[in-house]
Amino acid sequence: MISSEVFRAYGMNMPSDLHRFGSGLIHETYMFTSGDTSYLIQKLNQSVFKDLAGIMYNIELVSNYLNFKYPDKPFVEFIKAPNGQTLVYIGKEAWRLMRYISNSKSFDHVQNLNQAYEAGRIIGEFHSTFSNFEANQLKETFPGFHDFQSRSNKFLLVQDFDEYGRAQSSTVEINFLNEMCNRILEIESQLSLPIRVTHNDTKLNNILFDTSGRAICIVDLDTLMPGNLTFDTGDALRTMCNPSGEDGLQAPVKFDKDIFLSFANGFIQSSYQTLTIPELKSLAYSMIRMATEQAVRFLTDYLQGDRYYRQPFEGFNLTASKVQIDLIKLASQELDWMNDQVGDMLLKVGVV
Ligand code: GN1
Ligand code: MG
């Protein structure tokens, strides 16, 4: 399944126990062992990620900082080929190799409240760790990735163009999201949060846990870029607080208040000493902001004929957009409650 040339480029022999690893939809990931170490090798998706060199540059900058300041903190560790390069090209294929963090596990759905606490804690810790890192050193490898204005501009454009004649079948969703976009843009114009190193894809399954349930670190660093905190807390919350999954197949859509509380507790414990008060208070808003952005992205892709997201079933984009819309409605009803809870937590740790 992988040519031995790839392993030769890293100075290794073809392994005998090579097998497919994880549920990633973008890259192809395989696992193998050599001696007593396990490795992951990935064939990178170059149609989604156009600037692989920029991505690896960002990851290297961030991991050098971490290794220098916090050498004991676990982080993804890439292996260089004998020619000194992390990326190896075999023909047109791009590959990279990393050490597998032993005894680690990731989850697609929240298993218990401690896991939600741990996810919040590790995201808060990530932002505390990099709070003094000059985020603008990082390259914008995916321009406008979480830029709400450009996501909503594109949404309006594809509605007008309606190349696939699909706008009529999604009028209710389009109208709701246009309204939400205006609301979010209004809030964003008054929100001024510091630019930080953001992970930008903090879904639960990008967090590694050890066998005792403690979160070890956040992985899948391809979207590391400058951004603001809401991108990371919001993406984690919108995926964790809704047990239905993005496809709506696991369970009915729900906003799970207990998961929100556990996540918020973990997050505040590990970050209240370093993050600013507006950032800490943006937690509840961040979830609605990121659920809206994701709904807009799914519906934009639906209107443009499903060209970005892989469609696990016909109509996935429209369904996934509806799931986010239901979540936005449920979470919006609890916005005051969420803000009150966060306010109480902040008071308890002495932040007012
Ligand atoms: C994509 O491939 P995956 O699942 O890690 C997307 C995220 C979306 C997510 C929605 C590079 O992430 O931004 O939140 O789908 N990644 C990219 O499921 O577009
Ligand atoms: Mg990913």
Residues 273-286 have pLDDT tens digits of 999 999 999 999 99
CA dihedral 199, 203, 204, 206 (to 10 degrees): -50
Please tell me the chain's helix, strand, coil percentages from 3-state DSSP, rounded to the nearest 5: 50, 10, 40
- Residue nearest ligand 1's atom 9 by CA: 201
Residue 344 CA to residue 33 CA, distance in Å, equals 48
User: How far does Cα 144 stand from its chain's mean position?
Assistant: 15
Q: State which of 202, 203, 207, 292 you would mutate to test the pocket of ligand 1, scoring each by most atoms of that ligand within 8 A of its C-beta.
A: 203
The ligand 1 atom nearest the CA atom of 222: 11
**Ligand with smallest separation from the Cα of 320:** 1
Q: How far is the CA of 201 from the centre of ligand 1 (A)?
A: 7
Q: What pLDDT does residue 310 have? A: 85
Q: What does the pLDDT average to over 150-177? A: 98
Indicate the residue type of 190: Q
- Residue nearest ligand 1's atom 19 by CA: 48
Residue 56 CA to residue 95 CA, distance in Å, equals 12
Q: What does the pLDDT average to over 332-351? A: 98
Examine the pLDDT at 25 and tell me if it is beyond 70. no
**Ligand with smallest separation from the Cα of 235:** 1
State the DSSP code for 105: B
**Ligand with smallest separation from the Cα of 308:** 1
Handedness of CA 188, 189, 190, 196 (dihedral sign): positive
First to last CA, the chain: 57
Radius of gyration of the chain from Cα atoms?
Answer: 21
Binding pocket residue ranges, ligand 1, CB within 6 Å: 25-26, 48, 201, 223, 246, 294
Q: What pLDDT does residue 300 have? A: 98
Residue 271, helix vs strand vs coil: helix
Q: How far is the CA of 250 from the centre of ligand 1 (A)?
A: 19
**What value does the mean pLDDT of the chain take?**
95
User: How far does Cα 330 stand from its chain's mean position?
Assistant: 22
Q: What does the pLDDT average to over 234-252? A: 96
Q: How far is the CA of 263 from the centre of ligand 1 (A)?
A: 21
- Residue nearest ligand 1's atom 13 by CA: 201
Residues 6+ apart with CB under 8 A from 243: 109, 110, 250, 251, 254, 256
Q: What does the pLDDT average to over 131-149? A: 96
pLDDT band at 288 (very low <50, low <70, confident <90, very high): very high
Q: How far is the CA of 315 from the centre of ligand 1 (A)?
A: 17
How far apart, in Å, are the Cα atoms of 278 and each of 85, 229, 272, 283, 285? 41, 10, 11, 9, 11
| Prediction pTM value | 0.94
Q: How far is the CA of 200 from the centre of ligand 1 (A)?
A: 9
Ramachandran category for residue 96: left, alpha or beta (phi over 0 → left; psi -120 to 50 → alpha): beta
The ligand 1 atom nearest the CA atom of 142: 11
Q: How far is the CA of 350 from the centre of ligand 1 (A)?
A: 36
The residues with which 226 forms a beta bridge, in sequence order, are: 197
Instruction: Give which of 178, 180, 143 is closest to 159, Cα–Cα.
Output: 178
**Ligand with smallest separation from the Cα of 311:** 1
Instruction: Give which of 166, 139, 146, 320 is closest to 245, Cα–Cα.
Output: 320
- Residue nearest ligand 1's atom 7 by CA: 201
How far apart, in Å, are the Cα atoms of 63 and each of 31, 72, 75, 206? 22, 12, 7, 17
The ligand 1 atom nearest the CA atom of 235: 14
Q: What does the pLDDT average to over 154-183? A: 98
